Amino acid sequence: MKCFHFSEMPYPYVPPEAEAEHRGLKYFIPNRHYDPVRGYELYQRYLDEYELADELGLDLMVNEHHQSASTLHVSATLSAASVLARTRHGRVLVLGTPLPHRESPVRVAEEVAYLDAISAGRINCGFVRGVQGETYPSNQNPVHNMEMFFEAHDLIKEAWTRRDLFSWEGRFYHYRYVSVWPRPYQQPHPPIWVSGTTRRLVEWTARHGYTLCNLLGTYEDTAKSFRLYRQTAVEAGLPEPSPDNFAYLAFCHVAPTEEQARESGRKLLWYLKQGKLRLGAANPPGYSSTAAAVASLRGKLGEVRKYSFERLVDEGIMLVGTPDTVTRQIQRLYERTGVGNLILMNQAGEMTSNEVRDSLCLFAREVLPAVAPIGRSWQDEDTAWRVDNDTHPVETVLASALS
Amino acid sequence: MTDVTTTGERLLFLHDADVTAQPAPGIQQLSRTLGLDLDLPRHPGFGAPLEGEALEWDSVADLAQHHLLRLDAEDGRAAAADNSNSNSNSNGGRANGSAPHGHTPDPRPLHLAGAGFGGWIALEMAVRARHRFASLTLVAPYGVKLFGPTDREFADILLLDPAETVELGWADPSACHGLRMPGFPAGLDDREYEEAFAERAALSRFVWKPFLHDPRLRRWLHVLTMPTLVVAGDRDRMVAPGHSRALADLIPSARYAEIPGSGHYPYLETPGAFAETVAAFVSEHLKTGEER
């Protein structure tokens, strides 16, 4: 099991009344609520935590959102550049660049190639559709989101792998001359990761053999999504996917006692606070199927948000507890889903830097070595998720995950 | 009210976003008053999913082209019927002379009207086929941006909650009827809300960016020389105050009329006043009357 440190780098100082007035912290919140000096301090603090996590032997993940107090990452590639400059060892997972929201896929190809080039190949390159509300800051048509994602991906891959000048006149993107410098350090290109739960996207990810990431879903839903991936890959003639083809994002906070872990870990709930986003922002037109849109209208999506803290801990979506407890929970996660990469959201909201650092240090000392061997000999194991043990079809699930 | 003899002229009315398929009372009254044959098509993606080539469509220009081709196809049918009846009906009442594209036009004069989103489509049709239409009626149309980059000229109908749309779109929100949106009205079943979401997706496909307008439309407004009426409710807040009046100023032959006590949907909210205002305009431009 590989473990990645992740912080969304939130700005936790927006007054509650402003949050209420603007229906949450995202997309529509005026920037008068941002203080440049406090923002600077936050950036230094979060980057320091990335640096510590790297020193402790964890890998690192960055993301991006826009016009949001819940994330000060504005560009996953910019954040990756900052983290690369501060660190020496860990892989930096860019999860991810929201392809449909970037005007220029060629620019994405250049930026990721640059990151990989300057770091001698420390980059894992994540591509995402962008969560629903992102369509408002980017103003890209949500109806075309999935098709733009696929076309942008195809163009980027061509830009990385074709050794000659080419032109691209597609449906959404148009270039007369493409030949990206530098080429990625990792050849033919960095490992590609994708997060999502939509059946079409999961199947596409499987057929490409990319790593599929589930963010904060229940273990049951995550397992279903991964089963769909495995069945699709095998049907496409690919070898049985290994745990390394899968990733899961969970909250994490460890402490010497259960009580201490819960006391600080509770602060992670900040991330799950449901802003009262308009339906049009929570489910932009055409972004998902009409059935999923109605489920969203009826409040049936993202059910994880409604779980109590205790339930989140019991279900292992929050890996909160002593190192032993959390190690057992990670073992259970692996047995249920076959996941080989674990992204740990070690910070949210007003959790202090000391709390994060204490948890990181304890995790690195006691949990990391204990979970490292998990999944190494997966081919010798007879777990339920092995393709030979899983013959019934996967039903479509409503996403419990948050994105 | 006694039945009015039909004039044989046609009124093509292009619906707005979020309105139900039920014929609006103001439009029905208008067609009855003037004896017009009413043509109330639903736009592609509204009422039925887009399929085939239409899945590639992504602009209001595509919709305008679709509706113009539909008119051509009807012309073809009308011409065929005309030819087969030519011995018994030698007076075709042809008003507009020869058709621009070399086919035989339907002999019946055609009045074009559209509201909101449908008004935008009507504008795109009119600049492409200005000789086709005996008159043009635009009800608080979207489609043309007139003011500065930071002026919001159109309410964000793709983001707002239904209650907000009703609040902006009606002089008296409590009287709202004839609209359907995702989650509105309350108490519909999943299938109906799925249809509402599908229509939202279709709308978004055509109007997302630039939002609710086509920058290329404004530069061609000067070709609109057919009689034109721009009409808006005086309480419409879906379109910025003064927008419809300013648009009328840019169209050479247009005049502007306002319906008091009405919002964005005057044909629903104040159907009598709407029909009266528009009928007064259209009746000046009936071709059949000239020939009688």
A279–chain B Cβ distance below 8 A for any pair = yes
- C-alpha span between B22 and A181 (Å, rounded): 58
Cβ separation of A285 and B160 shorter than 8 Å? no
A27–chain B Cβ distance below 8 A for any pair = no
CA angle A293, A298, A300 (to 5 degrees): 85
pLDDT of residue B93: 38
Query: Does the residue B201 lie in any domain?
Result: yes
Confidence of residue B91 (pLDDT cuts 50, 70, 90): very low
pLDDT of residue A302: 80
Our count of domains for chain B comes to: 1
Express as a percent the part of chain B with pLDDT over 70: 88
Smallest Cβ–Cβ distance between A286 and the set B156, B201, B209 belongs to B201
pLDDT of residue B87: 47
Cβ separation of B193 and A280 shorter than 8 Å? no
Cβ separation of B158 and A280 shorter than 8 Å? yes
CB under 8 A, 24+ apart: contacts of B160-169: B160/A278, B160/A280, B161/A278, B161/A279, B161/A280, B165/B18, B165/B238, B167/B237, B168/B237, B168/B238, B168/B263, B168/B264, B169/B236, B169/B237, B169/B238, B169/B263, B169/B264, B169/B265
**Full residue range of the structural domain in which residue B265 is found:** 10-85+93-291
Which residue ranges of chain A lie beneath pLDDT 50? 403
Tens of pLDDT, residue by residue over A381-392, are: 999 999 999 988
Would you tell me the crossing angle of helices B190-207 and B117-128 to the nearest 10 degrees? 40
Which pTM value belongs to this model? 0.94
Express as a percent the part of chain B with pLDDT over 90: 83
B contacts of A142 (beta carbons < 8 Å): 204, 208
B contacts of A278 (beta carbons < 8 Å): 159-161
A136–chain B Cβ distance below 8 A for any pair = yes
pLDDT of residue B98: 41
Chain B residues 53-82 with a CB less than 8 Å from chain A:
58
A284–chain B Cβ distance below 8 A for any pair = yes
* Sequence-ordered alpha helix ranges (H) in A97-236: 105-118, 135-138, 145-161, 199-208, 219-235
Q: Which of B180, B193, B197 to mutate to test the interface with A (most CBs of A within 10 A)?
A: B197
A300–chain B Cβ distance below 8 A for any pair = no
- The bridge status of strand A166-169 relative to strand A123-128 is unpaired
Answer for the pair A278, B165: CB distance below 8 angstroms, yes or no.
no
Answer for the pair B281, B227: CB distance below 8 angstroms, yes or no.
yes
A contacts of B211 (beta carbons < 8 Å): 139
Cβ separation of A141 and B183 shorter than 8 Å? no
Query: Does the residue B260 lie in any domain?
Result: yes
How many other C-beta atoms are found inside a 10 Å radius of the C-beta of residue B253?
13
Q: In this structure, what CATH number is given to the domain that contains residue B278?
A: 3.40.50.1820
Res B166 pLDDT > 70: yes
B contacts of A146 (beta carbons < 8 Å): none
pLDDT of residue A53: 98
B1–chain A Cβ distance below 8 A for any pair = no
Res B136 pLDDT > 90: yes
Domains, chain A: 2-389 (3.20.20.30)
